[in-house]
Structure 1
Amino acid sequence: MSTIERAEVFVASPGRNFVTLRVTTSDGVTGLGDATLNGRELAVAAYLRDHVAPQLVGRDPARIEDTWQYLYRGAYWRRGPVTMTAIAAVDTALWDIKGKVAGLPVYQLLGGRSRDGVLVYSHASGTDVPALLDDVARFREAGYRAIRAQAAVPGSGSYGVRKGAIYEPASAAVPEEQLWSTEAYLDFAPTYLEAVRERFGFGFHLLHDVHHRLTPIEAARLGKRVEDCRLFWLEDPTPAENQESFRLIRQHTTTPIAVGEALTSIWDVGHLITEQLVDYVRTSVVHAGGITHLRRIFDLAALHQVRTGSHGATDLSPVTLAAAVHLDLAVPNFGIQEYMPHAPETAEVFRGGVRFADGMLHPPEVPGLGVEYDAEAAERFPYEPRSLPMARRLDGSVHDW
């Protein structure tokens, strides 16, 4: 019987910081898992190296469900982003191994295709409205069928606005402090979403991210104001700790709501789904316990007419992106997949991966996930401490970033 021989943890920064788990079996088969938690990478790396990796040696790599339960139920301290990201890395690596042993792409092990490709959206942004409109035009010309639009609020806040070719909010080791005015945002955001529709029409999906920054009633007001823009979704309109608050938003607007990129388990999103308080669940492979657990979330969502819309920013490695596309391809209630192309340096370390064409992503038709890790190349890109920003209101008080 094949067993797990070793589990190695790699921390490198090819374009941005990534934590990667590589599991090797006694038969020489390797599997990859992403363990990146933006701004807290070393916490997950230590959790894997010091606590999880030693427990994997000698286990049967084919027993994916048993290993998931072993790492989750077998530990007294459960859930949370660090634990669930570590479990996700192991789970994804074992699915990669299973696909390679079976000689099949992972999506075939999940039931095969439910669709021909995976619809994606990317991020258009600008420091002002004309710059945003130019960026939307660029994405339309590139073939995107769905685009998220964000513009810097004059004098207050630049969330979602790229500083270069790749959007990466994590910067210095000490968090950058950014100003925020909810009043200015509520006045400004609808105007640029309306400007996008006025210039480009309704022949593509338009999305917008609030990033947890409004109270429920403020979010309801925004959702109602932009109904004529026919948004595909309004993302994270309010913090999700009080999930009943989404019921209030629901009572005031028909704009679809997407939530979940910062939530890590079925227990975190169960109420939102079963009460149909959201339209899209955005939990991801890497932060919600891997393919095994994310499939459970998506299956629950399917029962309640909630669709999927997994997080997919560049702080998720090509391993997670590939795993997400394999799952997206298989589940019946897929909605959309976030997609932000990685920096060129990333491709020097992560070989292979998904292919973008005609507004959709396609997985590689090879056994497993279709991504390999070049540990030697990774050594050229040492870890760099970086933190996500934080926000302060104009009066100096801390606000949700």
Structure 2
Amino acid sequence: MKIAKIETFLVPPRWLFCRVETDDGLVGWGEPVVEGRAEVVRTAVDVLAEYLIGRDPLRIEDHWQVLTKGGFYRGGPVLSSAVAGLDQALWDIAGRCYGAPVHRLLGGPVRDRVRVYAWVGGDEPARLREALTEQVEAGFTAVKMNASGLLSSMPTAAEIGRIVERAEVAREVLGPARDFALDAHGRATVPAARRILAAVAPFHPMFVEEPVAPEHLSRLGDLVSGTTVPVALGERLYSRSDFLPALQAGLSIAQPDLSHAGGISETRRIAAVAEAYDVQLAPHCPLGPIALAASLQVAFATPNFLIQEQSAGIHYNTDADLLDYVLDRAPFTFVDGYAVRNDLPGLGVSVDEAAVREADRRPHAWRNPVWRHDDGSLAEW
């Protein structure tokens, strides 16, 4: 069995899918994308495909080593994301070849269901109470929301107050038995992050995500040592070596993204390193169904897994939603806030290939907004 064809598809709202086909007709799907740079990742996949065509798809680890280390210049979001999607697709092929779900190929399941959380926005908190109530009624036991919209470099008391208001409303609606997380989105400076963590601590968030941007990880230890709030990050870290300084600084929750951090293969290794630091895994996944399917396979087989992000109804999904490109929605049916394990082969996702090909005829060109402060200087989005 050899890899015969590799294709990519730009599909709304902001995703990139890849399809890997073997010479005997097996097909695997992956989701290699950097949101806002999907076209660049598409080109990277095309370059990496030059090596893969004609090779045995089941030599997943050897291919991962060559694709990540065979070039003199390595790493970074574009290359790591291109490798991630191809890695997902190869694991999908392996599962279909052996007639088993990927989690069984990873050593077998350690749990029967995976806790997931829902997004409720939060940039503009006017509908927050209603959105929280909707997710509670849908059975979710945890939600995540942005801590703020645009944030000043040194936030005013009013800005901090609006963050506290979000946390207060969340705790009031959810009660003590459910969880909420705040995503700071790297918008805060280190001094601002200190104040935010202190201000929301009384409301016991499950975690605060990306309290500082990844380029300031050297200051993470200062933040962690000064708070009891669990700190989470990792969507903009792409390897074990990227995560190591954060783990050593006292990170509570690691959030690698399976479409950015080298796919299933590297995320499993990140989880193993995190376990050595007593750190939990909560994979980042505001993306499409293939990325979520891959994340769930890892979650079922990873002992130190905590909770899984998923993008159904997320505010980014304006032109298409999570399940618009799948034929069988059952694997993504959440029961009481959990995804239930099944034994569907590969990643367990049935892609609607016709819908994907039709969507790619009108490829998206999604870009994240560029925000500016009142004085005209660039603000973190």
Q: Is the 8 A contact 1:105 1:370 kept in 2?
A: yes
- CA-to-aligned-CA distance 1:244-297 (integer Å, 9 cap, x gap): 211111222111000111211112111111x14210111111100010011110
The 5 Å alignment of 1:25-36 reads 25-36=22-33
Q: What is the deviation of 1:69? A: 0.5
Query: Is structure 2 residue 348 aligned with structure 1 residue 377?
Result: no
- CA-to-aligned-CA distance 1:76-127 (integer Å, 9 cap, x gap): 2211111001111111111111111111111111111111211111112357
| Structure 2 residue identity aligned to 1:272 | A
Q: Percent identity?
A: 33
Q: Secondary structure, in 3 states, of the residue corresponding to 1:241?
A: helix
2:191 and 2:154 map into 1 onto residues whose CA distance is 16
Partner in structure 1 of residue 333 of structure 2: 355
Q: Secondary structure, in 3 states, of the residue corresponding to 1:52?
A: helix
Q: Secondary structure, in 3 states, of the residue corresponding to 1:138?
A: helix
Q: What is the deviation of 1:181? A: 7.7
Partner in structure 1 of residue 103 of structure 2: 107
Query: Is structure 2 residue 252 aligned with structure 1 residue 279?
Result: yes
| Structure 2 residue identity aligned to 1:360 | Y
2:274 and 2:197 map into 1 onto residues whose CA distance is 22
Q: Is the 8 A contact 1:354 1:364 kept in 2?
A: no
2:349 and 2:14 map into 1 onto residues whose CA distance is 18
Query: Is structure 2 residue 49 aligned with structure 1 residue 78?
Result: no
Q: Secondary structure, in 3 states, of the residue corresponding to 2:214?
A: coil
Which shows bigger deviation, 220-229 or 362-371? Answer: 362-371
**Structure 2: runs of 5+ lacking an equivalent:** none
**Structure 1: runs of 5+ lacking an equivalent:** 158-178
1:36 and 1:116 map into 2 onto residues whose CA distance is 29
Q: Is the 8 A contact 2:113 2:300 kept in 1?
A: yes
2:124 and 2:346 map into 1 onto residues whose CA distance is 43
Which shows bigger deviation, 378-387 or 23-32? Answer: 378-387
Among 194, 206, 209, the alignment partner of 1:235 is: 209
The 5 Å alignment of 1:16-31 reads 16-31=13-28
Partner in structure 2 of residue 320 of structure 1: 291
Q: Is the 8 A contact 2:179 2:205 kept in 1?
A: yes
Q: Is the 8 A contact 1:148 1:207 kept in 2?
A: yes
- With normalisation by structure 1, the TM-score equals 0.87
Among 272, 278, 284, the alignment partner of 1:311 is: 284
Among 292, 298, 316, the alignment partner of 2:271 is: 298
Q: Is the 8 A contact 2:210 2:232 kept in 1?
A: yes
Q: Are residues 149 and 324 of structure 1, via their aligned partners in 2, closer, same or farther at CA, if it must alter by over 3 Å?
A: same
Q: Secondary structure, in 3 states, of the residue corresponding to 2:132?
A: helix
- With normalisation by structure 2, the TM-score equals 0.92
Q: Secondary structure, in 3 states, of the residue corresponding to 1:7?
A: strand
What CA RMSD, in Å, does the superposition of the two structures yield over aligned residues? 2.0
Question: Alignment length, in residue pairs?
Answer: 371
Partner in structure 2 of residue 389 of structure 1: 369
Partner in structure 2 of residue 331 of structure 1: 302
Among 95, 116, 140, the alignment partner of 2:136 is: 140
Q: Are residues 363 and 387 of structure 1, via their aligned partners in 2, closer, same or farther at CA, if it must alter by over 3 Å?
A: farther
Q: Is the 8 A contact 1:181 1:393 kept in 2?
A: no
2:58 and 2:276 map into 1 onto residues whose CA distance is 29
Partner in structure 2 of residue 165 of structure 1: none
